[in-house]
Amino acid sequence: MDSINYQQNSDERSNEEIELEGQFIMRVPEDRAETIHKAIRDGNVHKKLSIAMNKDLRHGEVWLEGSKLHTKLVDLPSIVESYKTSDKETFYKTADISQMLICTGQPQELECKSSDSDEEIANKLRKSYLYPHGVTCPLKNLRKRRFRKKMLKTPEMPAADVSQELKCLLAADSLAESYKYELVDESDDSQ
């Protein structure tokens, strides 16, 4: 009998939406921020604020006192840690925050040309969820500054020329009719 009840409960759970715990930063327009701060101070956020995400878990809607805002969940370039305290002396780390929910009045659509292939569209879509800036002003354009392509230390030859030169040398080596090599012991040279 217990197994039947368990099966029924698991079927009921699968039909319901699964609620996972997670933390993110929520960025709203400045004129709406004071409303949220007041709701937090009063302790009735659940009455004034409601968030609903689409099935893709990247877009959604936020209702704030009856008005609707469109949202987009983006990935931050760095991780922000969140802490909790009960006595203002001891802090406990609660999560690593790596996403931000950006709320705007108008929905944001990705523009794709009809000539784009499915692979290009998927790549543009993936890049549209990468937020280029950090949370604070000094972290503006962090993704470009911190994760830029590395250059070689020798300024004489850029990286593209080095790889091209290596390919030419390997091609010339494969066309050689014969080759010889000599092993030199460094200890003999010092004497």
CATH number of the domain that residue 44 is part of: 2.40.128
Following CA atoms 53, 56, 58, 62 in sequence, which dihedral angle do they give, to the nearest 10 degrees? Answer: -20
Among 30, 184, 40, residue whose Cα is nearest residue 104: 30
Higher-confidence position of 54 and 184? 54
Confidence of residue 156 (pLDDT cuts 50, 70, 90): low
Q: How far apart are CA 98 and CA 78, in angstroms?
A: 7
For residue 188, being part of any structural domain is answered with no
pLDDT (0 to 100) of residue 68: 92
Q: How far apart are CA 79 and CA 97, in angstroms?
A: 6
For residue 152, being part of any structural domain is answered with yes
Judged against a pLDDT cut of 80, whether residue 190 lies above it is answered with no
Judged against a pLDDT cut of 60, whether residue 10 lies above it is answered with no
Q: Same domain for 79 and 158? A: no
For residue 181, being part of any structural domain is answered with no
- Quickly count helices (H) and strands (E) in the chain: 7, 5
Following CA atoms 155, 160, 161, 165 in sequence, which dihedral angle do they give, to the nearest 10 degrees? Answer: 130
What is the residue range of 50's domain?
A: 17-106
Q: Same domain for 97 and 145? A: no
pTM score of the predicted model: 0.60
Higher-confidence position of 141 and 156? 141
User: What is the count of structural domains for the chain?
Assistant: 2
